[in-house]
Structure formats: C-alpha cells, structure tokens
Chains A and B, each alone.
Chain A
Amino acid sequence: MDWLIFGVLSLWLLISVGGAVLVKNPIHSILFFLSAVLATAGLFLALGAELLAGLQIIIYAVAIVVFYVLVITTIPWEKVKRFEGVYKKELIFGVPLLLLVFAMIAYGIYRGKLHDPAIMKADSVRDLGKTLFTSYLFPFEVASVILLVAMIGAILLGRKEE
C-alpha cells in the first residue's frame, strides 16, 4: 500500500514542479509551486516525519509563498505579464548541471542509508527540540542572527527616504 501513496504523491509533486517551471502566468506558477510544497509535505508525512511535514507547510507553504504571492499580486500587472522568452544560454549550462546533481543524489541514496524506519522515533518533536537546543545550539543561534541581520537590512532598504 505504501508504494501507491508514494506514487500518487510523487506524481503530484512532479506534475506541480513541471507546471511551476512551464506555466507563463506567474500566479499560476506560484500556485503550482504551492502545490509542490504541499506534495512534499505529504511525502514527509508518508515517510513518518510528521514534524518536518508540519514545518514544511507552516514555513514554506505559508510564510514564504505568501510573501511571493503578496509581491506578485501587488506589482503592476504589465510588468508581470511580459514574457522574456526561453533562457537558451542558461538551459545549456543548467541541464548538464541538473543531471550531475541528480546522479549524485541518486548515488547517495543508493549507497547510503538516508531513510531507515528502525531509527524513527515516536516523539520526533521532543527529540528534535532536544537535539536542536543542545548539540546544535551554536549553528542554530548563528542562523537566527543571520536572519535578524537580513531583516534589519530589508527594513533599511525598504524605508522611505526622509
């Protein structure tokens, strides 16, 4: 039964990612992206990583995509609709790189042990919190400081000249 759920979710994911890349209307593209994020959350849930799925929805599907949507819906529509053609040069560099990365990931999955049900914990929230605030406290705090700096910078940039 697992393969059916996995198959449906991955098909959904692939379709929405393809749509996000190929669709011309930016709002439709954002919607496909949202759908891709939700499908990823579904995949996480199917793999038993509930916390990751919840965070995926809250952070990506809501916090980040909402800001994309807000920006795209409020800027003048003539600018949004301009189609700049297919990026041919970028495609030439991009496709080999993509294949390379894909091959590397496939190799990693094939050789390594990324998903092992035996190490799954019942209470992943508590374990994750403990790990985050003990072993990885320093990187975590550094990340938050970086975010704070980015926020201050954004506020300074966005402020009106006085």
Chain B
Amino acid sequence: MSEFTLSLIITLVKIAVVLGVAMGLGAYLTWFERKLAGHIQARLGPTVVGPFGLLQPLADGIKLLTKEPIIPRGADVPVYYLAIVLALAPAILLFSVIPFGPGFTLLGREIKPIIADVNIALLVVFAMGSLAVYGTIFSGWASNSKYAFIGSLRKAAVIIAYEVVLGFAVLGVVLLAGTLSTTGIVQAQIDKGVWFVFYQPVAFILFLFCMLAESGRVPFDIQEAEAELVTGYNVEYGGMKFGIFPLAEWYLNVMALSAIAVVLFFGGWSGPPILGPLSPYFWFLAKMFGLVFFVIWLHWTLPRFQAKDVTEVAWKIMLPLALVNIIFTAVVVYMRGG
C-alpha cells in the first residue's frame, strides 16, 4: 500500500469519526437544549420517549423524515434545494480545522487528531463562517416569501457586520501566538503556560458576541425572530429540509465555534492528565461543552436586540474596541520583543 493511499485512508477515517460525532452530538444538543430550556423555565422538557426523553432526537428525526414535502409556489426549485447544502456544508467544514488533541503515534505513524492541519486554519474558519450566509440568503430568496426574505437580509447584515469584528478580535490572539494554525495556537498556549483568555479578555468577549451573532443565537437572533418573522429564512421549508437549518446553524455552528473559542482562548486540549492518554480529549470536549452550555444558557436568559441595534453595536462599539485591542496588543508584543 502506497503512502498516498494510506494517508487517504487515515484522512477518510478521521472525516468519518468527526462527521459522525459532530452530527450525533448536534442531534443530541437539540435534546439538551430542550431539557435545559425546560428546567430554566421550571418545566421538565422531553420526558416521554425513552428514559429522560433520551430518544427524542430519533423520534424527531423520524417525524421530520416522514413528513410530506411541500415546495411553495413560485419557488426557485434548484436554488431552494441548493440552499440546504449551502447552509450545512460550511458548518460541517468548520470542524475540519479543529484539533481535538495532541498528535500520537499509532503503528509507527504520526497521527494528528485534526482533519486538515493547514497554516491558514483561522482563515478557513472565517471563510466558512461567512460562506454560511449563502445558505440563509438563498433559502430566503428561493422560497418566494417575504418573511423568509426579510430574515435572510437581516442575517446578511449581521454576518457582514460581525465577520469584520470577528476577524479583528481574533487578530490579538494571532499576534500573541505568531501563527494562524490552530495546532500552533494551542501549542503556543501550552508553551507559555497560560490561556490567552487572560491576556485577551476583551477579544474573548468580542469573539463570544460574534459567535452568538454568527450562529443566530440570542441576543442576536434577529433573522429568526419568532415573534416578528415566524422563524425567518427557513419558514417555507418543511420536514427534514427544515430540520437541517437549525441543526446547522444552532447546533453544528455553535459547537464548531465553541471549539474554535476553546482553541483560541482556553488552551485547547491542555489540562491536568487525570484520564491518562484520553485526558486531552476529555479536556477539549469539556471546555467546548462548557461554552456550548453557556451559549444555550444565554439563549434562554436574554431578550433580543432590535434589528437596527445589532449592526449598530457591531460597527459603533465592537469594531473600535477590537481595533484598540489589536493596537494595544501589537504595541505590547513589540515592546517585549515578540
């Protein structure tokens, strides 16, 4: 077996593992969110299907898959279907640059638990985050409904505003680590022995806000805005076609961006070795789900911003803050001879 085939097989196995874990966890996050939301509101959440309602995602999946497909009149059918792919693909591709742990040796081969260890990993993150906007725009446009279209235009405004802030917020960490590669950033934090959240608290808060805006979570969920727009851009979709959008945006995107936040600010897989060789993975997943929990907790706490406020906050408050943060960081790094 040639070297090329071997590396291809290893990559395919990694893709299969990450895809399976991400999709499975994404489906189960629906259960987790419903349970958490229920208890926050002194309700119970799903309890009927399986113990603690654990089989609820499966039941939902069966329900969504067996629904009648309805396509609105006047819809642009190819674009209508393409929008689903355009929404789901970037969310999944985000997982390709997330390092889940340090490299290890298996049968004499060095294996890194990351699908694509490229030196532009953070650029890929931004690119995929903003490519997700096509899913929303085209789903709203193709379904020939004004509510859906208003939702997608709002999402476009939010994405354009927050992509800029996101890029500038992350630059501080890049300056400190001196690399754009995700493994490199984690390694830099391990070498320095300190998480970057302590050096870059402002950047972390900005990143958190951008993450909420990009994944359509409260308080920036103006594109869904149940009270005004029904559910915004995906209102004309039914069955599993409808199920894909929240799965991609609310769950996969949140998970992937939480993982990126862990990589950037919380030292990735670093942590005391309490589980032997598995402890890096444990720490990574624990930190990631801590953040996911925080996002969902925030979702069920805060009200929604007005549509005009969301972009105003981004351009008028966050962007200047991010710029000041970068300049400050650059000066300090330069002074200390970074």
Contact = CB atoms under 8 A, between A and B. Distances in A.
A69 B137 contact: yes
Interface in B228-262: none
Given A50-B119, A62-B130, A123-B119, A74 B153 contact: yes
Interface string A21-51: 0000101100100100000000000000011
A34 B163 CA distance: 19
B62 interface: no
Interface string A114-138: 0000000011110000000000000
Given A34-B134, A62-B133, A74-B153, A50 B118 contact: yes
A54 B133 contact: no
A73 interface: yes
Q: Secondary structure of the B side of the interface?
A: helix
Contact of A66 (B141, B149, B160): B160
Interface string A46-63: 000011011101100111
Contacts of A27: 76, 79, 138, 141
Given A66-B156, A66-B160, A58 B130 contact: yes
A125 B141 contact: no
Nearest to A124: B119
Contacts of A57: 123-124, 127, 131
B253 to A, nearest CB: 15
Interface in B101-153: 118-120, 123-124, 126-127, 130-131, 133-134, 137-138, 141, 149, 153
A76 to B, nearest CB: 13
Nearest to B157: A70
Q: Secondary structure of the A side of the interface?
A: helix
Contact of A50 (B120, B137, B138): B120
A51 B181 CA distance: 12
B134 A73 contact: no
B137 A54 contact: no
Contacts of A50: 118-120
B126 A66 contact: no
Q: Kindly state the interface size class of chain B when it binds its partner.
A: 20 to 34
A54 B124 contact: yes
Contacts, number: 63
B77 to A, nearest CB: 11
B149 A62 contact: no
B75 interface: no
A1 interface: yes
A51 B120 contact: yes
B4 interface: yes
Nearest to A59: B127
Given A28-B79, A31-B79, A54 B131 contact: no
Contacts of A125: 119-120, 180
Contacts of A61: 127, 131
Residue in A57, A62, A69, A125 with the greatest tally of chain B CB atoms within 10 Å: A62
A74 B300 CA distance: 33
Contacts of B120: 50-51, 53-54, 125
B193 interface: no
A34 B130 CA distance: 13
Contacts of B137: 66, 69-70, 73
Interface string B47-78: 00000000000000000000000000000101
Contact of B4 (A1, A25, A63): A1
Interface of A: 1, 25, 27-28, 31, 34, 50-51, 53-55, 57-58, 61-63, 66, 69-70, 73-74, 122-125
The 3 closest A-B pairs by CB, nearest first: A54-B123, A57-B127, A62-B130
9 contacts: A27-B79, A27-B141, A34-B134, A55-B123, A61-B127, A62-B127, A66-B130, A70-B153, A73-B153
Interface of B: 4, 76, 78-79, 82, 118-120, 123-124, 126-127, 130-131, 133-134, 137-138, 141, 149, 153, 156, 159-160, 163, 180
